[in-house]
Amino acid sequence: MISAQRWTEQGWGLLQLLLMVTFCQAEELVCRQRGDPENPQLSKDGDVILGGIFSFHSSWKVRQDTYMHKPLPLECTSLNFRELQYAQAMIFAIEEINNSTDLLPGISLGYKMYDDCDSIARSVKVALTLANGNEVVSATTEAPCTRPAQVQAIIGGSSSSPCMAIATDIGPIHIPLISHYATCACLSDKTKYPSFLRTIPSDYYQSKALAQLVKHFGWTWVGAIKGNDDYSNNGMATFTENAQQLGICLEYSVAFFRTDSSDKINKIIDVIKASTSKVIVAFISSTDMDVLIDELSQHNLTGYQWVGSEAWIFDSQTAEIDTHHILDGAIGLSIPKAHVSGMREFILDVKKLNSSSNKVFREFWETLFNCKFKLSNSSAENQRECTGHEDLTGVQNSFTDMSLMPIYNNVYKGVYAVAHALHIILGCNETCNYSVQLDPLTILQHIRNIHFKIKEGDEVYFNENGDPAAKYEIINWQPTENGIVDFVTVGLYDASLPADKQLSLQQVSVIWAQNSKQVPVSVCSEKCSPGTRKVLQKGKPVCCYDCIRCSEGEISDITDSITCEHCHPESWSNERRDACVKKEAEFLSYEEIMGVLLTAAALFGTCMTAVVAAIFFRYRTTPIVRANNSELSFLLLFSLTLCFLCSLTFIGRPSEWSCMLRHTAFGITFVLCISCVLGKTIVVLMAFRATLPGSNVMKWFGPAQQRLSVVAFTLIQVVICILWLTISPPFPFKNFTQFKDKIILECALGSAVGFWAVLGYIGLLAILCFILAFLARKLPDNFNEAKLITFSMLIFCAVWITFIPAYVSSPGKFSVAVEIFAILASSFGLLICTFIPKCYIILLKPEKNTKKNMMEKGASKPF
Ligand SMILES: *[C@@H]1O[C@H](CO)[C@@H](O)[C@H](O)[C@H]1NC(C)=O
Ligand SMILES: *[C@@H]1O[C@H](CO)[C@@H](O)[C@H](O)[C@H]1NC(C)=O
Ligand SMILES: *[C@@H]1O[C@H](CO)[C@@H](O)[C@H](O)[C@H]1NC(C)=O
Ligand SMILES: *[C@@H]1O[C@H](CO)[C@@H](O)[C@H](O)[C@H]1NC(C)=O
Ligand SMILES: *[C@@H]1O[C@H](CO)[C@@H](O)[C@H](O)[C@H]1NC(C)=O
Ligand SMILES: *[C@@H]1O[C@H](CO)[C@@H](O)[C@H](O)[C@H]1NC(C)=O
Ligand SMILES: *[C@@H]1O[C@H](CO)[C@@H](O)[C@H](O)[C@H]1NC(C)=O
């Protein structure tokens, strides 16, 4: 866990060099003691000895070295009860194995434990001492250099930095180091630390889990505080990396060390005060955290949601220091709670230590009960003399606090891992093979492959990096009424599960900062709702952005979309821009008012034509009907009916058939219609000429010729239409381009040439007809149709000439309406101009409908 100090310790490299010299001088094959001898703080003999390195003291007296004489040994200060608990846990495990008949029967385990004072230099020294066994004090000691190692494995190393130093030194000689609390992910690197193993998960997993936790609660804008040691630097680096991958942004990242000047602390506090994020992720050791909390309390920095690493999040000492309750509601990861039966009682039974080490025992006892065994003259009067019968009941300090039981369990697991490996190597069954030579490399290899269960059911094994399976509990600091913080487990994290199941939380029971039941919000920008997209703010992290509404025809249907997507051509964005709706299909339908009116007009025209035809048929024998070539009249009426009806094919949803029918039916019926009119005009013209003497023209244009000419004119149009339909027929077409939000269903012409040929032919005939009728208009016929035909052709041509620009410029369905209108108008023009005056005479002026009257003025000859 904690790396107590930076690598600035004076002369540690020098010391290491010195000790390495004592280690082996291969040429002489004799080793001479160079450094000062070291005696273990706690030891017990056995067949197999395990080493232990704990920081019974957490600090030391700083001395200014003059380099004029040999440096004095480190003077350690501040007794650390926690580390004594770890040592007790190790002794407990060793005794339990010693007592057991199943594991290592007949073999007694011993131990040698050294105090490294949380100093890297001392760590290296005691590690090499454990390897060498140089505690014997003798000036003449010279031993062969090929001695086996003193200890078969080392348990301990509570902080990452000392562990790195120890593992670097004992790696080449393969002595296994099993740490219970060094979490730095850097220690997983087996090329650097080949003999390092641990029973606590690597921070690699913790950092990942923390990032997932932060992401889970939607905090994408967080601040970060780290310590200034290997533990925090590595942990925070991995966290940052993972957070970035999950889209979390760090507003700030500040480093804090417990010895920092108040200037630096004030700067950190200013950064926190100026920040907009509400969540602070603290990857920091508990000792640093305790100092930091003290400072923050003085500035009333409350209201922040803290997210913590395992180093402080389940440390009751940190909770005690937090009297201003600025950490209330904190959430973080901790090593799963554990219970080892008998361990608690064993640890509290301090007196046993008396037998293994009097010195540590005395200091410990004195500190624990705040007394002295032998009062010196100078000591203050208020100190009691120790009786040796003091009672632990009523004593409340970190020694009686068992909240670190999971860590004791880690020590316990480490000892058992070594024992199980030895059990296999020594081939133990009912007895063990004493003649097997133990060497650290074999033990290391066996420990790496070990897989067993301790008595409480926990499985113990190491992965290829020497790390255990990563499991964490998610801890929430819940304030209770009496002001004491309760560490409530609100979830689990298991790295061995698939990615989406690793984190499981019971969110209901979480209490957040400021006693809130609501998950705090910590984002730089609010989420972008569907219909908008994110646009990053210039020069700000990716979590800060503006939400821009999607433009027309584009949508975003998810929250926080980065892009807007184009709708399919057949659809269009809705008003909120969060969905594509199908574009409205537009065509002239029977349902809308324009369609209804045009249909009605067409049907009215049809009916009117039918009525006219009926009248003509009823009075077919009267002169006025007979006078005007009744056969052509009826054919004209028939074709007019078709003209009216063909306008109906333009209304309704265009289909393949209706598209083909539209223009061709219209073209043919109109040509039929105009051919009839043309026939009539020619007849009128001929009839007049025929009255002239010597003219025999009527012979040339009798009824047979009339029929033939009508058929011939019509056939030409039929051929044009057939060519059009076979070469490139009109087809239904969805026009997406004319309007953005509508699809126009229309008939594509297929071939524009075809269309204009059909129209042009009609126009040609109409103009021909108009010219002939114009020539004949003044002929002295009482019933000169020519005048009427001229007039109707005038209307016809006017309608169709205006049609072209109107047709070309009308949008969508209106161009169809214009076309229908032109058809209807010209049909009505023909019908009304040609037939209504005659109907008027037939019905209302029957007196004029006589042969006499017909002959009276004109020279027209009835047929
Ligand atoms: C282990 O047991 C033996 C006797 O069986 C005893 O002598 C030795 O002190 C014990 N060692 C420890 C560490 O308890
Ligand atoms: C080991 O056995 C001894 C003697 O039987 C007993 O006093 C001691 O408590 C045992 N230790 C453990 C850890 O079980
Ligand atoms: C913090 O709050 C206390 C009381 O709530 C107040 O007395 C103190 O001055 C405040 N300190 C700062 C630095 O604002
Ligand atoms: C303690 O006091 C006695 C006499 O009062 C004296 O002889 C002795 O030197 C003192 N010891 C120390 C350590 O000061
Ligand atoms: C520790 O052991 C010594 C003798 O080895 C004894 O005098 C002393 O009373 C013991 N202390 C306690 C607290 O049991
Ligand atoms: C242990 O010994 C027993 C009898 O002595 C034997 O049956 C058993 O197979 C042995 N087990 C191993 C693993 O050698
Ligand atoms: C004990 O170990 C030695 C050395 O490895 C071996 O030669 C011997 O056969 C072993 N004895 C038994 C009973 O396995």
Whether 351 lines ligand 5, by a CB cut-off of 6 Å, is yes
C-alpha dist (Å) from residue 481 to 305, 366, 484, 486: 20, 35, 7, 10
Note the ligand closest to the C-alpha atom of 361. 5
Distance CA(147)–CA(831), nearest Å, equals 130
Band (307; pLDDT cuts 50, 70, 90)? very high
| Number of domains composing the chain | 4
Q: What is the per-residue pLDDT for 176?
A: 95
pLDDT at 520 over 60: yes
5-14, 71-80, 324-333, 720-729: which has the minimum mean pLDDT?
A: 5-14
Residue-wise over 36-47: b if at least 16 C-beta within 10 A, else e? eebebbbbbeeb
Domain CATH number, residue 631: 1.20.1070.10
Quote the tokens at residue 493: 């994290």
Residues 658 and 536 in one domain: no
Q: Which atom of ligand 6 is nearest to the CA of 429?
A: 1
Whether 374 lines ligand 4, by a CB cut-off of 6 Å, is no
333-342, 431-440, 625-634: which has the minimum mean pLDDT?
A: 625-634
Residue nearest to atom 10 of ligand 4 (CA): 377
Residues 660 and 799 in one domain: yes
Identify the sign of the CA torsion 436, 438, 441, 447: positive
Residues 101 and 238 in one domain: no
Q: What is the per-residue pLDDT for 517?
A: 87
In-domain check, residue 693 = yes
145-154, 363-372, 710-719: which has the minimum mean pLDDT?
A: 145-154
Q: What is the per-residue pLDDT for 379?
A: 56
Among 671, 253, 204, 187, residue whose Cα is nearest residue 465: 187
Q: Which atom of ligand 3 is nearest to the CA of 299?
A: 13
- Whether the CB-CB separation of 9 and 63 falls below 8 Å is answered with no
- Cα of 299 vs centre of ligand 3, distance in Å, is 7
- Cα of 19 vs centre of ligand 4, distance in Å, is 40
In-domain check, residue 387 = no
Residues 567 and 454 in one domain: no
In-domain check, residue 799 = yes
Residue nearest to atom 11 of ligand 4 (CA): 377
Higher pLDDT, 699 or 665: 665
Q: Which atom of ligand 7 is nearest to the CA of 434?
A: 1
pLDDT at 224 over 50: yes
What is the percent of the chain with per-residue pLDDT over 90, rounded to a whole number?
29
Helix (H) or strand (E) holding 348: helix 343-348
- Reported as a single tens digit per residue, the pLDDT across 39-51 is 888 889 899 999 9
Average pLDDT, the chain: 84
Band (53; pLDDT cuts 50, 70, 90)? very high
Q: Give the mean model confidence (pLDDT) for residues 479-492.
A: 88
pLDDT at 136 over 60: no
111-125, 182-196, 209-223, 735-749: which has the minimum mean pLDDT?
A: 735-749
Residues 551 and 433 in one domain: no
> End of a domain among 543, 561, 582?
582
Higher pLDDT, 840 or 37: 840
Q: Which atom of ligand 1 is nearest to the CA of 111?
A: 13
Q: Which atom of ligand 5 is nearest to the CA of 386?
A: 13
pLDDT at 861 over 50: no
Residue nearest to atom 8 of ligand 6 (CA): 429
Note the ligand closest to the C-alpha atom of 110. 1
Domain limits at 836?
593-855
Q: Which atom of ligand 2 is nearest to the CA of 92?
A: 13
Q: What is the per-residue pLDDT for 21?
A: 45
Residue nearest to atom 13 of ligand 2 (CA): 96
pLDDT at 235 over 60: yes
Note the ligand closest to the C-alpha atom of 104. 1
Distance CA(306)–CA(513), nearest Å, equals 8
Single pTM value for the model: 0.66
Residue nearest to atom 12 of ligand 3 (CA): 299
Residues 629 and 684 in one domain: yes
> End of a domain among 523, 547, 582?
582
- Cα of 437 vs centre of ligand 7, distance in Å, is 10
Q: What is the per-residue pLDDT for 4?
A: 39
Q: Give the mean model confidence (pLDDT) for residues 311-340.
A: 88
160-169, 650-659, 727-736, 786-795: which has the minimum mean pLDDT?
A: 786-795
Identify the residues whose C-beta falls under 6 Å from ligand 1: 44, 46, 94-95, 98, 108-110
Distance CA(696)–CA(724), nearest Å, equals 41
Q: Which atom of ligand 5 is nearest to the CA of 390?
A: 13
Residues 178 and 227 in one domain: no
- Cα of 609 vs centre of ligand 2, distance in Å, is 123
- Reported as a single tens digit per residue, the pLDDT across 611-666 is 999 988 888 888 877 776 778 888 889 999 999 998 888 888 888 888 888 888 88
CB atoms within 10 A of CB 712: 11
Quote the tokens at residue 98: 């010693």
pLDDT at 346 over 50: yes
99-108, 163-172, 744-753: which has the minimum mean pLDDT?
A: 744-753
- Whether the CB-CB separation of 258 and 28 falls below 8 Å is answered with no
429-438, 597-606, 708-717: which has the minimum mean pLDDT?
A: 429-438
Q: Which atom of ligand 1 is nearest to the CA of 108?
A: 1
Residue-wise over 525-534: b if at least 16 C-beta within 10 A, else e? beebbbbbbb
Residues 234 and 186 in one domain: no
Q: Which atom of ligand 7 is nearest to the CA of 427?
A: 14
Residue nearest to atom 1 of ligand 4 (CA): 377
In-domain check, residue 526 = no
Q: Give the mean model confidence (pLDDT) for residues 124-132.
A: 88
Burial class (CB in 10 A: 0-12, 13-18, 19+), 82: buried
Distance CA(573)–CA(515), nearest Å, equals 45
In-domain check, residue 358 = no
- Reported as a single tens digit per residue, the pLDDT across 377-421 is 665 566 777 877 888 877 777 788 888 899 999 999 999 999 999
Q: Give the mean model confidence (pLDDT) for residues 366-373.
A: 83
Whether 300 lines ligand 3, by a CB cut-off of 6 Å, is yes
- Cα of 273 vs centre of ligand 3, distance in Å, is 15
- Whether the CB-CB separation of 231 and 311 falls below 8 Å is answered with yes
In-domain check, residue 542 = yes
Q: Give the mean model confidence (pLDDT) for residues 570-578.
A: 86
Distance CA(813)–CA(551), nearest Å, equals 27
Residues 428 and 309 in one domain: no
- Reported as a single tens digit per residue, the pLDDT across 775-831 is 877 766 555 667 777 888 888 888 888 888 888 787 777 888 888 888 899 899 888
In-domain check, residue 829 = yes
Q: Give the mean model confidence (pLDDT) for residues 173-183.
A: 93
Residues 413 and 432 in one domain: yes
Question: Which ranges of 100-202 would DSSP assign to H, the alpha helix?
Answer: 120-132, 160-170
Q: What is the per-residue pLDDT for 858?
A: 42
- Reported as a single tens digit per residue, the pLDDT across 758-774 is 888 988 988 888 888 88
Residue nearest to atom 8 of ligand 1 (CA): 108
Domain CATH number, residue 429: 3.40.50.2300
Higher pLDDT, 429 or 199: 199
Among 547, 549, 523, 522, residue whose Cα is nearest residue 534: 547
Residues 705 and 617 in one domain: yes
Residue nearest to atom 8 of ligand 4 (CA): 377
Q: What is the per-residue pLDDT for 619?
A: 86
Identify the residues whose C-beta falls under 6 Å from ligand 6: 429-430
- In SS3 terms, 753-787 reads as HHHHHHHHHHHHHHHHHHHHHHHHCCCCCCCCHHH
In-domain check, residue 325 = yes
- Give, for ligand 5, the residue of 348, 354, 368 to mutate: max count of ligand atoms closer than 8 Å to Cβ: 354
Residue nearest to atom 5 of ligand 4 (CA): 377
Q: Which atom of ligand 4 is nearest to the CA of 376?
A: 13
Residue nearest to atom 13 of ligand 6 (CA): 429
pLDDT at 854 over 70: no
Residues 187 and 245 in one domain: no
